[in-house]
Structure 1
Amino acid sequence: MTNKVQIYLGLGGNIANELGDPTSHILAVRDTLNTDERFCDVVLSSLYASKPFGVTDQPDFVNAVLSAKTALDPMSLLNFCQDLEQGAGRVRLRRWGERSLDVDILLYGDDVIHNDRLTVPHSGIFERNFVLVPLLELNDKLMISGQKIRELALAHEMDGLTKLANNSN
């Protein structure tokens, strides 16, 4: 694979369906990327339970962050992520609502992207410890929009988070 770019994907879910529960959906994403030749160096963070963000009248979430390298361009990666969500039976009922699987592109190299389908870095990345804590776990030297992740207070804040499991990749 040539011209690989480092990506970070935010993974989460809070409802089970006939295809599995949130944990199994997250692990399936890791397994899919591990077997897809368009991706390499796939690493999944620990799994974390978190309280819902935005809309709170729903079950707690299971969250993780996955890092990998890919030659896919950003829009192809977005389509791939949406295919993963559909494969897990995701139905979009309301913004920030219940879902079997959510796959967000958090970072795509150092690129800044803003169009009607994709914003990178992810627009809520600095507001969500369920994203920053696992990002810090994966790469404590990571820079996001010129800021060192290890210097972001929220990256060390476990309030509302429970570490569920370490993952062997």
Structure 2
Amino acid sequence: MTEYTSDADQPAYIALGSNLGDREAYLRRAIAELHHHPLIRVDRCSSIYETEPVGYTEQAAFLNMAIAVTTSLSPMELLEAMLHVEQLLGRVRDVRWGPRTLDLDLLLYGEYTSNDEKLILPHPRMHERLFVLIPLLDVLHQEILPDGRSVKSLVQAADGRDGINLWKSVHWHSESGRFES
């Protein structure tokens, strides 16, 4: 684990998913809530992908995407802000990998690594999940992860591409916090 010591702006990447209610509205609202935080700026948004559920499969399909942000929050403070947005948008944690209005996962935070019980970075299972990797490729500044792995090679090595379909292209205007489809 590298100790977090910076108060300068850092790039971070967040995965978003929803499979209850108006899935797209939950994703858009979550991004807007994060963007309106005074210490978080949403820089880029991936397209939206519809994906089959993983783990607990007896549930509706998910909409998934990823965003690139810049923040001066520490990794733990960013995680807390993300958990607040989940709670604000009605996230209930009943069933592991179960249905949810919103799921936000911190994937990467600059070059920072952590094995803390509350926050593992880079995200420990993102390399196994095409529903995370494909949207992440849309927004990454560079395609090499802090551990030296290439995201493209992880996508090529992963199984399950058939369960991921482009649902909608998204264009994010950072200055205004608006989406265009």
TM-score when scaled to structure 2? 0.84
Q: Which residue of 1 aligns with 2:179?
A: none
Unaligned runs of 5+ in 2: 1-6, 173-181
Aligned partner of residue 69 in structure 2, secondary structure: strand
Q: 1:160 aligns with which of 156, 159, 163?
A: 163
Aligned partner of residue 159 in structure 1, secondary structure: helix
Shift of 1:53: 1.0
Shift of 1:51: 0.6
Residue 44 of structure 1 aligns with an amino acid whose one-letter code is: C
Q: For 1:25-104, what aligned pairs fall within 5 Å after superposition?
A: 25-104=26-105
Work out the CA distance in 2 between the residues paired with 1:31 and 1:141. 24
Question: Is 1:147 the equivalent of 2:152?
Answer: no
Residues 133, 157 of structure 1: 8 Å contact kept = no
Shift of 1:56: 0.5
Q: Which whole-Å deviations, capped at 9, do the CAs of 1:31-75 have from their partners, x for residues lacking one?
A: 223322212252110000101111111111110001111010011
Aligned partner of residue 30 in structure 1, secondary structure: helix
Identity %: 33
What is the Cα-based RMSD across aligned positions, in Å? Answer: 1.8
Question: Is 1:3 the equivalent of 2:8?
Answer: yes
Work out the CA distance in 2 between the residues paired with 1:47 and 1:128. 15
Question: Is 1:13 the equivalent of 2:31?
Answer: no
Residues 31, 42 of structure 2: 8 Å contact kept = no
Q: Which residue of 1 aligns with 2:176?
A: none
Q: Which whole-Å deviations, capped at 9, do the CAs of 1:59-100 have from their partners, x for residues lacking one?
A: 111100011110100111111111010011011111111110
Unaligned runs of 5+ in 1: none
Moved over 6 A (4+): none
